[in-house]
Amino acid sequence: MKKFYIILTLGALVYTFSRCNKTGAFPDDGYDDRLSGGSFTTLDASTQAFKQAIDGLTDRQERVHTIGDGTFDQVFVAAPAPHFGGLGPVFNNISCINCHRNDGSGFPTTGASNSGLLMRISIPGQDEHGGPLAAPGFGLQIQDQALLGSAPEASINISYTDVPVTYPDGTIVTLRKPVYTVQNPYTSMPAGYMTSPRLAPRLIGMGLLENIPESTILSFVDAGDKNGDGITGKANYVYDPYTKNMEIGRFGVKANTSTLLMQVATAYQQDMGVTSFAQPLESAYGQSQFSTVGTGDTSPELVDSLLNYVTFYVQTLAVPARRDVLDSVNKRGATLFTQVNCAGCHRPTMQTGVNPAINLSSQRIHPYTDLLVHDMGEGLADNRPDYLATGREWRTSPLWGIGLLSKTNGGTAYYLHDGRARSVEEAILWHDGEAATSKQQFMQLSFVDRVALLQFISSL
C-alpha cells in the first residue's frame, strides 16, 4: 500500500509540472532564468505575446478570462444603447485595446483612435486624502474628445526638440525632449495648473505584481542610503475610493493606484467616461458637460460582472519568457547590468505571496522592478506631485517583456512615462537623480559592452 501511494504521488507531481506552465517542467533546482513569470510564463514571442493567459486556470476561470478579453477589446458607444453604452460625454478613447495595443503600450499621441497618451491635471494643494487636487472644470485628467453636443475639455499639442548626448568615446545619440501645450480649453484654465503626461503601459504580469507582499516592497527602501549607492526609493501610499483605505501604491507611473480593480475602474471612468460600482461618478461630474449625461440614471454603465471580468483578465495575463539566456553576449550584458547597478532599482527577482483565488501563490518571478518611486532628475520631472510621489519621482518600470514591445506594437516602440524615448538606450540616457551614477557608468562602458547590456535588456 505504501508503494502504491508513492507511485501515485510521483505521478501526480509529474502531471502537475507537465501542465502548470507553458515553458515545460522546472529544472531539478526549481529555478530557471527563462521563467520571468514563474509557472505563469509563456513561450509566445509573437505579436500576441502579451495577450496570453496564465496556465492552470480552471474551466470557469478560462471562461471569465475570455469574457474579460472580449470586454477589454469592446468599443463603447453613447447611451442609450442595448450593449456597451455610456461612453462620454467626454473621453480619451473608446476601448481599452485602442490605448493598449495588443495589451502593450500605445502611441505617444493624443486625439486619435490609436492614441495611448493622456494628460493628468491638478492644481497646487492636496485633497482630503493627500492626493492631487482636482482642477476646477477639468478634474484630474484632460479628456480631449467628446460626444456630439459636448465639448472636449482641451486638446494637447506635442512638439519635440533634439537633445544630443555624446559618449566619452565620441558616439552621439540624439534624444527628443517633449513640450506639451494645452490648447483650446472649453473653459478658462485654473491658475497654477500642473499637468503630467502618461503613456499606456503593457499589462503583462500585473496580477503577479499585485501579489507581491507589502513587506517585500518596503524591504527595498533605503531611506538613509545606507549602502552609499545614491539610491533610496520610497513607497507611495494612496487612497482607494472603493475600500476607503490608504494602501501601498503598485500601479501607474507614479505608483498612484493600489489594486488592479481600481486601475481598471478608473481607466473606464477617466479614459472613456464609463462608470462602475468602483467609480460611480462620471468624470465630468460637476462640470457643464455633465448636463448632457442621459436622464439622470445613476446606475453603473459597466455592469459589475464585466468590471470584475476585465480585472480578472488583466490579473491573469502571462509573462513572456526570457530569450537566448545562454547567448554569450546576453550573459555578458547581464553581468554589466548588475555591475553598473541598474539592478539597484530594477530588481531582478521577487517572490509572490499567497493568493489561492487565482493560484498566483509562491512564484519566483523576474519583473526587474522594486515597485518604489525614485527621484529621476529634472529632465524627466513633471513637477506634479501624486500622493507621496514628488514631481521628480517615478515608479521603477518593470522590464519584463520589454524586448518584445516593438513586435507587439507594430514595429515601433516607445519608452518612459510619456513615450519620449524611441529605444532602450534613449531611455537610459534620460535617467538622472538617483540613477545618475548608473547612467554615467553605462556611458563609460565601451561600445561593445553597451551593446551587450542593451541586448541583455532586449532579451527580457
Q: How many CA atoms lie within 13 Å of 456's alpha carbon, on the beta-carbon side? A: 22
Band of pLDDT at residue 219, cut at 50, 70 and 90: very high
The answer to which of 5-9, 271-275, 316-320, 379-383 has the lowest mean pLDDT is 5-9
pLDDT at 292: 56
Band of pLDDT at residue 31, cut at 50, 70 and 90: low
pLDDT at 106: 85
pLDDT digit string (tens) for 72-89? 999 999 999 999 999 999
User: Per the confidence metrics, is the pTM higher than 0.85?
Assistant: yes
pLDDT digit string (tens) for 419-460? 999 999 999 999 999 999 999 999 999 999 999 999 999 999
Band of pLDDT at residue 290, cut at 50, 70 and 90: confident
Looking at every residue in the chain, the average pLDDT score rounds to: 92
pLDDT at 9: 33
- Cis peptide upstream of residue 27 (ω within 30 degrees of 0): no
Which of 1.10.760, 1.10.8, 3.30.1490, 2.30.30 is the CATH number of 2-57+316-381+392-458? 1.10.760
Rounded mean pLDDT, 110-122: 94
Domain ranges of the chain: 2-57+316-381+392-458, 63-310
Q: Is residue 255 predicted with pLDDT exceeding 70?
A: yes
Task: Specify whether the CB–CB gap between 442 and 432 falls below 8 A.
Answer: no
Phi, psi dihedral angles at 91 (to 5 degrees):
-165, 170
Task: Specify whether the CB–CB gap between 296 and 422 falls below 8 A.
Answer: no
pLDDT at 348: 97
In sequence order, which residues have a C-beta less than 8 Å from that of residue 364 and are 6 or more positions away? 30, 31, 35, 38, 349, 350, 351
Rounded mean pLDDT, 328-347: 98
Compute the distance between CA of residue 250 and CA of residue 246 in angstroms, rounded to an integer. Answer: 13
pLDDT at 18: 35
pLDDT digit string (tens) for 177-201? 999 999 999 999 999 999 999 999 9
The answer to which of 23-37, 76-90, 110-124, 413-427 has the lowest mean pLDDT is 23-37
% of the chain beyond a pLDDT of 90: 86
pLDDT at 15: 32
Rounded mean pLDDT, 36-51: 96
Phi, psi dihedral angles at 197 (to 5 degrees):
-75, 145
pLDDT digit string (tens) for 348-369? 999 999 887 787 778 999 999 9
Q: Is residue 238 predicted with pLDDT exceeding 90?
A: yes
Band of pLDDT at residue 294, cut at 50, 70 and 90: low
pLDDT at 354: 86
Q: How many CA atoms lie within 13 Å of 105's alpha carbon, on the beta-carbon side? A: 31
